[in-house]
Amino acid sequence: MHKIFIGKMRKNIRDILESWPKNFIRDIDFESLLDSTADARHSLIKRAFKSGLLIRIRQGLYLIASRTKQTLPDEFELALLIYQPSIISLESALSYHSWIPEAVYTITCVSPKRAQEFKTPIGIFSYKHVPEQGFYLGVQRIATKTGTIFIADAWRALADFMYVRRRSWEDLTSLEADLRIDRDIAIGSDKKLLKELSENYPSPRVQRGLKILLHEINRLHPDISMTDKPSKK
């Protein structure tokens, strides 16, 4: 990408923002675009912000105002830029995978860093702390039109829910009553991942809760590949 001299950038900031491939832009993107000092870039961004060309999401991350009138940014992609490292999890991931019926209006994420919440012009982004060990276990990497998102698989999102909300269930009936997760969806899910999480999620309490659910799912829908093979005599 060719850098643009600051003098030219002053005259064409509107056109350059319009031609940017995403409807948000970061300080680091301006560094790659502009052949100027940090102070000059800061002054330029400040003027663009005051003139209404940019809307600040948080320090170093901005929406391009004219572009957001046409299409809203990918909230999941933005979520992973607002607070790093993080993954989409908890209610947002459960809703994404159609495990819970309710619409989720706060973007919920987990991070090995301390919990944070950001109220922005396009919504609330909530980040809850989970252990750093095995942070990407059970996480899907999904390519979007403008980037990449990391989102927890349904069982990983439920494990994070158990850890963060301090919840557990004695059986699938109580899970269904609490979160309205259809038991048929749980029974037909990825049991290998559930087993892996029940053995490796870095919380003994969560492991115990997941093993209870795994045991009942195996009882209701036995799978020879998930059970111990009988020993040969």
pTM for the model: 0.84
Is 230 within a domain? no
Q: How many domains in the chain?
A: 2
Degrees (nearest 5) of the Cα angle 108, 83, 180?
Answer: 10
Considering the domain architecture, whether residues 79 and 62 belong to the same structural domain is answered as no
In angstroms, the CA 34 to CA 211 distance is: 54
* 110/191 same-domain check: yes
- Asked if the structure places residue 227 within a domain, the reply is no
Alpha carbon 3 to its chain's center: 32
Task: Identify whether residues 155 and 59 lie together within a single domain.
Answer: no
Q: How does pLDDT run across 158-215, given as a tens digit for each residue? A: 999 999 999 999 999 999 999 999 999 999 999 999 999 999 999 999 999 999 999 9
Q: Which domain holds residue 113?
A: 75-220
Q: Residue 215: which H helix or E strand, with range?
A: helix 204-220
Same domain? For 139 and 168 the reply is yes
Cβ neighbour number for residue 26 with a 10 Å cutoff: 14
Min mean pLDDT across 78-87, 193-202, 222-231 is at: 222-231
User: Residue 167 has what pLDDT?
Assistant: 96
Residue 105 maps to a domain:
yes
Given 24, 41, 68, the domain boundary residue is 68
- According to DSSP, the β-strands at 106-111 and 123-129 are parallel
Within this chain, do residues 45 and 113 fall inside the same structural domain, yes or no? no
Count Cβ atoms below 10 Å from residue 126 Cβ, excluding itself: 19
pLDDT value of residue 227: 47
Tens-place pLDDT, residues 6-52: 444 444 677 778 888 888 999 889 888 877 788 888 888 888 888 89
pLDDT score for 144: 83
Average pLDDT over residues 98-107: 90
